[in-house]
Chains A and B, each alone.
Chain A
Amino acid sequence: QVQLKESGPGLVQPSQTLSLTCTVSGFSLTSNSVHWVRQPPGKGLEWVGAIWSGGSTDYNSALKSRLSISRDTSKSQVFLKMNSLQTEDTAIYFCTRALTGLDYWGQGVMVTVSS
């Protein structure tokens, strides 16, 4: 059974670093890409970045300087790290396979950037 589940802090202070984990099951990270998508409250979907089956990464152009995506295949986990957080980074963060593969999404994790 394919599952993805995001985890991480719900509240982050401005200028700090966000660390999120996407724990997957039912498929291999070495055979499938995982993407991060975010959605600010009341707004649309925004592609954040991806880690491909071979381990390479791609990032949103506007976030590239602050963003890092990595993985631990032995633990079936994908990591998102974003530094210098601003209030505009407040959003629900989803991990998903659905952008290039079958329709599987995590339930999303709400991240609020506030002091």
Chain B
Amino acid sequence: DIQMTQSPSSLPASLGDRVTITCRASQDIGNYLRWFQQKPGKSPRLMIYGATNLAAGVPSRFSGSRSGSDYSLTISSLESEDMADYYCLQSKESPFTFGSGTKLEIK
């Protein structure tokens, strides 16, 4: 199975900060990488697909990038509504695998 190593597990940050969350794939997944946001008590929300494509309705302060086997989600200027858990997912091959998650919280 493909392993997705996500870091950090917790990210304290201030409003207005630029923040980056990273997932490293254990083998080649091309651009089959999605990012999800989840707020307490809610279903996850798709933020990024194809490693770099913004999902419908997602603010432009979110972006996705790839460098080799490292995939990143960046928020250019943190807003209060962005405080949530974030997960990466590889959908290159079954079984699909999620990263372990990052809790983004106010410093």
Chain A residues within 8 Å of B, Cβ to Cβ: 35, 37, 44-47, 49-50, 58-61, 94, 96, 98-100, 102-103, 105-108
* Shortest Cβ-Cβ A-B pairs, 7 listed: A58-B94, A103-B46, A105-B43, A44-B101, A47-B96, A45-B98, A98-B46
Contacts of B46 in A (CB 8 A): 98, 102-103
| Total of A-B residue pairs, C-beta within 8 Å | 56
A–B Cβ pairs within 8 angstroms, 14 of them: A37-B44, A44-B85, A44-B100, A44-B101, A45-B89, A46-B98, A47-B95, A59-B94, A59-B95, A61-B95, A94-B43, A99-B91, A99-B96, A108-B43
Contact of B95 with A99 in the complex, beta carbons under 8 Å: no
Starting from the known contacts A58-B96, A96-B44, 20 additional A-B residue pairs (CB-CB under 8 Å) come to A44-B85, A44-B87, A44-B98, A44-B99, A44-B100, A45-B101, A46-B98, A47-B89, A49-B95, A58-B95, A59-B94, A60-B95, A94-B43, A94-B44, A98-B46, A100-B91, A103-B45, A103-B46, A103-B55, A107-B43
